[in-house]
């Protein structure tokens, strides 16, 4: 009698816990950035975006309409390192002073690690003392987008790549002239292309 009662209680617990476990699994997969094939297909049909193209020497080429770069979470995981994925696809943040770009002063341009869109130039880079690469302006306003970010119980302005929606960092109003802005950008979101001499 006692083993049968224990078995019945275990079955009831399983039936009661199952919906919560399923909801937790769904929430976990959603937070990881995995998207269904239907979502990816829908995003593939989005309107093109206009960006300004630059060659690797930093020369402005032209404004052009390009297709957005869209991948599923699992596809991005294959294309990026774990740190790049965490920062660009999950809105993560590099640890301050952990990279090399914050102290890099060589001439060149910084491209998006996800889609190679030109984002920043060494011409607007400055040492902010924060431990992250900092710029007073993007290479072209058309290549980035800004969104309100209310995470961490504060309001900030998130900066994203316009072509692939990669999280780049945040922009603050404590930068140097002429813009008085500080684009505080994660190194994991960038790929530096030095100017060839």
pLDDT at residue 151, as a whole number? 84
Domains defined along the chain, listed by start: 46-194 (2.170.150.20)
pLDDT at residue 148, as a whole number? 93
Mean pLDDT, each 10-residue run in order, the chain (197 residues): 53 50 45 44 70 95 96 97 98 95 96 98 96 98 95 90 98 97 98 89
Give the SS3 label for residue 176: coil
pLDDT at residue 88, as a whole number? 98
Looking at the annotation, which residues are catalytic?
Answer: 184
CB 102 within 8 A of CB 189: no
CB 127 within 8 A of CB 134: yes
Inter-CA distances, 80 with 28, 116, 138, 160, Å: 20, 13, 23, 17
What sign results for the dihedral spanned by CA atoms 70, 144, 102, 152? negative
pLDDT at residue 47, as a whole number? 84
């Amino acid at each position: 009698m006692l083993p049968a009662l224990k078995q019945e209680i275990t079955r009831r617990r399983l039936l009661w816990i199952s919906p919560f476990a399923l909801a937790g699994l769904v929430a976990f997969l959603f937070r990881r950035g995995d998207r269904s094939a239907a979502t990816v297909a829908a995003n593939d049909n989005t309107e093109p975006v206009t960006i300004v193209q630059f060659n690797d020497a930093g020369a402005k080429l032209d404004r052009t309409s390009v297709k957005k770069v869209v991948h599923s979470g699992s596809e991005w995981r294959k294309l990026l390192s774990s740190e790049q994925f965490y920062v660009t696809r999950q809105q993560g943040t590099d640890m301050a002073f952990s990279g090399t770009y914050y102290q890099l002063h060589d001439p060149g341009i910084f491209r998006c690690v996800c889609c190679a869109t030109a984002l920043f130039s060494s011409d607007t880079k400055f040492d902010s003392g924060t431990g992250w690469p900092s710029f007073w302006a993007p290479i072209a306003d058309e290549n980035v987008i800004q969104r309100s970010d209310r995470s961490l119980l504060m309001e900030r302005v998130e900066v994203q790549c316009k072509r692939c929606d990669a999280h780049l960092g945040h922009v603050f109003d404590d930068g140097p002239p002429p813009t008085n802005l500080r684009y505080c950008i994660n190194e994991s979101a960038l790929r530096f292309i030095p100017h060839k001499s």
